[in-house]
Structure 1
Amino acid sequence: MARWQPGATQRLVVAAVELFNEQGYDATTVAQIVERAGVTKSTFFRHFSDKREVLVAGQETLSRLLADGIAEAPAGSSPLEAVAAGLERAANEMGPVNREIGPGLKAAVAASIELQEREVLKSVSLAAAMKAALVDRGVPDPTAHLAAELGVLAFKRAYTQWSEGDQDDDRTLAHHARAALNDLREAATSLG
């Protein structure tokens, strides 16, 4: 195998999710992950600091895509319209592998307190990136904070629906994200 074969990150994530579900997070070693992925330990550590970080692979990219989409929303967009643009931008970058690993990823996180804690930190980071992008657009802090939190919730709901739904359903993650955000907008207005 070539030292810098493309797709190493993706193979490591898939291997880790499979192993975490087969034998549990605590029982899985980095050595097992690299063996399953067909890479070396040094390749693993070029991509991740530890096995926990495998499950948040792409978090920085996702944060950047969400923020870029918000920044590029048309002038005059409402905060939630800007968040919708961010969700669409991020969702359009997620492919079949993201969809396939969703249920296994969810199961691995549900089975480990350590991974649940890391998942919460990921959500906080995504919300912070969206809030900062909204504030940069001139949205007041409390409104930006609320819109960003709704964006994170919409993204999580959409990803669950997309990854756990009928694999023959060709509706995109972006479609599910728009629908989830609209549902949350309606729910918020019913609060009074």
Structure 2
Amino acid sequence: MTSEPRSGRPRASSREVLSEAACELFLEQGYDATSVSDITRRAGVSRSSFFNYFSAKSDVLWSGFDARVDAAVADLRDGGTPSRVLAAIGDGLAPDALALAIVNADAMGIAVELDRDRAIRQFRLQRETAARLVRDGAAPLIAQVRAGALSAAVLAAVWAWADHTAGRSLTETLSEALAAA
């Protein structure tokens, strides 16, 4: 049995290539005017390749952050301390498509989409954080309020960090936001 080399882009680079192509197109023609086909054509990959990495066009922007949220949710379910788990979301996260979209939301025509997607992720963090706090003995109302503040702090920190990527790390910004919550 002979092993033939795989054709196409290496798996490790395709996600980044797709993200870069998408951001370029969002800046050039706007988010709504950019189709998945436009992105795959620009990236030089098939449409099916796109869906190997992303389930929707908006996922191109959120995939790096979503991986961090998935890890945080798993840690919260495993008994992690909410403040420590939420702070870890920022560890090593470099500016990516999401940061670019936040800074260029108006030019990309994506401000409303970002707000909607931000709320979805914030609520997911709130729900999981509140559940952790209740398991740790907090009253449900107190858990919901505290979890709401903490999850809002995470997303506020991401937005503040994206606006000032040259200044402070996300870890520093996130620590300050979580302390304020």
Q: State the TM-score, normalizing by the size of structure 1.
A: 0.72
**Selected match of 2:24 from 18, 21, 25:** 18
Task: Give the aligned partner of residue 175 of structure 1.
Answer: 172
The amino acid across from 1:182 in the alignment is: A
Task: Give the aligned partner of residue 152 of structure 1.
Answer: 151
Q: Distance in 2 between matches of 1:34 and 1:126?
A: 31
Change in Cα spacing, 1:89 to 1:16, as seen in structure 2 (3 Å) is same
Q: Distance in 1 between matches of 2:59 and 2:160?
A: 24
Question: Secondary structure, in 3 states, of the residue corresponding to 1:7?
Answer: helix
Q: Distance in 1 between matches of 2:101 and 2:36?
A: 21
The amino acid across from 1:134 in the alignment is: L
Residues 59 and 122 of structure 1 are in contact (CA less than 8 Å); yes or no, is this contact kept in structure 2? no
Residues 84 and 181 of structure 1 are in contact (CA less than 8 Å); yes or no, is this contact kept in structure 2? yes
Q: Following TM superposition, by how much is the alpha carbon of 1:8 offset from its aligned partner in structure 2, in angstroms?
A: 2.4
Q: Distance in 2 between matches of 1:144 and 1:121?
A: 19
Deviations 1:94-119 (A, max 9, x none): 12436752534644786454554333
Q: Distance in 2 between matches of 1:137 and 1:7?
A: 41
Percent of matched pairs sharing the same residue: 28
Task: Give the aligned partner of residue 37 of structure 1.
Answer: 43
Task: Give the aligned partner of residue 127 of structure 1.
Answer: 126
Task: Give the aligned partner of residue 61 of structure 2.
Answer: 55
Higher deviation after alignment, 147-156 or 136-145: 136-145
Q: State the TM-score, normalizing by the size of structure 2.
A: 0.76
Question: Secondary structure, in 3 states, of the residue corresponding to 1:57?
Answer: helix
2:91 aligned with 1:92, yes or no? yes
Higher deviation after alignment, 98-107 or 24-33: 98-107
Q: Structure 1 stretches of 5 or more lacking a match?
A: 74-81, 185-192
Q: Distance in 2 between matches of 1:151 and 1:60?
A: 17
**Selected match of 1:64 from 51, 63, 70:** 70
The amino acid across from 2:15 in the alignment is: T
The amino acid across from 1:23 in the alignment is: Q
Q: CA RMSD in A?
A: 2.9
Higher deviation after alignment, 88-97 or 49-58: 49-58
Q: Distance in 2 between matches of 1:158 and 1:63?
A: 14
